[in-house]
Structure 1
Amino acid sequence: MLKKIKTPFTEMMKIDYPIIAAPMFLVSNADIVVQASESGGIGTFPALNYRPIEKYVEALKEIKSRTKKPIGVNIIVNKSNARQNEDLKHALDNGVELFITSLGSPKEVIKEAHKNGAKVLCDVTNLEHALKVQDMGADGVIAVSSGAGGHAGPISPLVLIPWLKTRLQIPIVAAGGISHGSMMSAVLALGASGVSVGTRFIASYEAQVDEAYKEAIIKSTPEDIVMTTRVSGTPAAVINTPYVQKIGTDLPWAMKVLKDHKMTKKYMVPLIHLMGMKSLEEAASKPTWKTVWTAGQSVGLVEEILSVKEIYEKLITEYDESVKNLSSLGLD
């Protein structure tokens, strides 16, 4: 196995490999985070995976007692998350080294994190947003492209990463469609300095989700992934289960009108988010006919359940083989 992969992102975070175990709603847990960081990458989790907030504080303390390596916390920074300030404070109090912000302005997180020497990566799907967060002082961006699980971006990583690279001075971490080391070498060649891997870690021994969810990850192909607005009002990638087929992938007409109307939007958006979180919670943790499982197109290359450590070793070995194969294709 490679001793280290040196990129601007690994240098910034003082880690061996530029692989983030992505923060996945209801999937990421203490075991995944600890094992990812201990494997030389960096484990992250959404603060909202732990409710009430006392459980979140317990999780932070447990993770920090089990690894001395850097870890990360994902904070939703829009108004529907009333906990965001508390989540940030507790993470900083417990020495969290990395924050990943989603769905809103990261200004406050950047300001507070930098006081502690922590780094902030911001989810972006286009250049306009990336330039905004760079101007705010973000330490890097996570380029969320088409193919990602959950809230995927609309642009191919083949275009998004080089496009961001033309104007950004901060590291770019690629997210979407990465479950094999050759994909990692491809995005690094495009200008990324790290990868955020989510779907692959759902099919891990450490993931405490229903076994049927893991089996669905292994058996699904990229063609089984569909985009739906039913979960949160924002397009999200899910496995096309019979339940998803039954309810359809668009919001009901009345909800869509209320969501889009400026007078009712501020009430409707948090309500849709809450309803979506409840349905995801049921589907991930127990057998239910309301099966909504988030996943990305990279399911196509997930063929077995492995430990987090084994997934890291596999990704790095595949990456090494891919780089060696590419070097043999150089110009004579």
Structure 2
Amino acid sequence: MLKQIKTPFTEMMGIDFPIIAAPMFLVSNADIVSEASEAGGIGTFPALNYRPLENYAAALKEMREKTKKPIGLNIIVNKSNTRQNDDLRIALDHGVNLFITSLGNPKTVIQEAHKNGAKVFCDVTNLDHALKVQDLGADGVIAVGAGAGGHAGPISPLVLIPWLKTRLNIPIIAAGGISHGSMIAACMALGASGVSVGTRFIASKEANVDQAYKDAIIKSTPEDIVMTTRVSGTPAAVINTPYVQKMGTDLPWAMKVLKDHKLTKKYMVPLIHLMGMKSLEEAAVKPTWKTVWTAGQSVGLVEEILTVREIYKKLISEYEESVNNLNQLGIK
């Protein structure tokens, strides 16, 4: 078993393995974060998983009691998140080491995080956005490709990672469709410095979600994942449950018109986000007929519920086997 995988990302963060336990809405918790970091990777969580702010601060305190190793936080940086400044301040007070920004301008997070010596990686789905955040001083990007759970990008990782690599001077983390060590090896071959793994950790013993959600992850195939705009207004990957089939995957015509109109957009976008969050909250903690479970195409290779540390061990073992198999092919 490998003791370490050295990449620019692991050296930057002071960790052993370039595997982020991705920040997943309503799934990532103190146990997943701390166990991922203790396993040699880095655990992360969305700030909005904990409400109100007192619960968020308490969660960070708990994580810091469970591990002294680097931990990470995801902050939504668009205007709909009125909490973002408080989320940033409290995280810095608790010594968060890695910030992952989504859906907006990361300038403030980059400036403030760097004052504390923390690193900032920004979610991107194309080269234009990646170049903008690099110019703002981001330490790296999370390349969210097709196959990811939640808000997936439209471009195949086979194209996205090498494309970003042609113009970026900062590390690239591959995200989307990764649940097996061979996929990690493939991403590294494409030029990634690490990977962000989400869906695999839903089927972990530490995930505090309903058993039906975990069972759905194990039973689903890549063909069971569909894209819907009903959750947040932007395309998100979910398991195609009967409820998802019933409600459809597109926003109702009237909501779409209001969302796209310049005079009503700023009111409609937060409303759609709120409605989607409520649906996800109900589905994650109890099975209801309104079941909306986010997941990526990598469900096809998730076959059992393991602890977070067991998942890390398995991913690293699979990665090592894949690299050894490639080495045996040789170059003649």
Whether 1:68 aligns to 2:60 is no
SS in 2 for 1:167: coil
* Alignment-mate amino acid for residue 295 of structure 2: A
Per-residue CA deviation, residues 184-226 of structure 1 (Å, 9 max, x unaligned), is 0000000000000000000000000000000000000000000
Deviation for aligned residue 1:329: 1.4
* Alignment-mate amino acid for residue 314 of structure 2: K
Spell out the pairing of 1:1-332 with structure 2 (5 A cutoff): 1-332=1-332
Instruction: Measure the CA separation in 2 of the matches of 1:207 and 1:123.
Output: 23
SS in 2 for 1:328: helix
5+ long unaligned stretches in structure 2: none
SS in 2 for 1:123: strand
User: Percent identity at matched positions?
Assistant: 84
Instruction: Measure the CA separation in 2 of the matches of 1:22 and 1:66.
Output: 18
SS in 2 for 1:290: coil
Deviation for aligned residue 1:139: 0.3
CA RMSD of aligned residues (A): 0.4
Instruction: Measure the CA separation in 2 of the matches of 1:288 and 1:31.
Output: 26
Instruction: Measure the CA separation in 1 of the matches of 2:180 and 2:287.
Output: 29
Instruction: Measure the CA separation in 2 of the matches of 1:287 and 1:177.
Output: 25
Deviation for aligned residue 1:113: 0.1
Instruction: Measure the CA separation in 1 of the matches of 2:257 and 2:50.
Output: 32
SS in 1 for 2:32: helix
Deviation for aligned residue 1:312: 0.1
5+ long unaligned stretches in structure 1: none
Instruction: Measure the CA separation in 2 of the matches of 1:299 and 1:208.
Output: 18
Deviation for aligned residue 1:134: 0.2
* Alignment-mate amino acid for residue 48 of structure 1: L
The runs of at least 4 consecutive aligned structure 1 residues that moved more than 6 Å come to none
Instruction: Measure the CA separation in 2 of the matches of 1:218 and 1:322.
Output: 23
* Alignment-mate amino acid for residue 243 of structure 1: Y
Instruction: Measure the CA separation in 2 of the matches of 1:287 and 1:322.
Output: 38
Instruction: Measure the CA separation in 1 of the matches of 2:5 and 2:159.
Output: 24
What TM-score comes out, normalization by structure 2 length?
1.00
Instruction: Measure the CA separation in 1 of the matches of 2:31 and 2:87.
Output: 20
Instruction: Measure the CA separation in 2 of the matches of 1:271 and 1:29.
Output: 25
Deviation for aligned residue 1:167: 0.3
SS in 2 for 1:310: helix
Deviation for aligned residue 1:18: 0.1
SS in 2 for 1:174: strand
Q: How many residues align?
A: 332
SS in 2 for 1:3: coil
149-158 or 257-266, larger mean C-alpha shift: 257-266
Deviation for aligned residue 1:66: 1.0
Instruction: Measure the CA separation in 2 of the matches of 1:192 and 1:20.
Output: 13
281-290 or 200-209, larger mean C-alpha shift: 281-290
Per-residue CA deviation, residues 89-142 of structure 1 (Å, 9 max, x unaligned), is 000001000000000000000000000000000000000000000000000000
* Alignment-mate amino acid for residue 195 of structure 2: V
Deviation for aligned residue 1:328: 1.1
* Alignment-mate amino acid for residue 37 of structure 2: S
SS in 1 for 2:329: coil
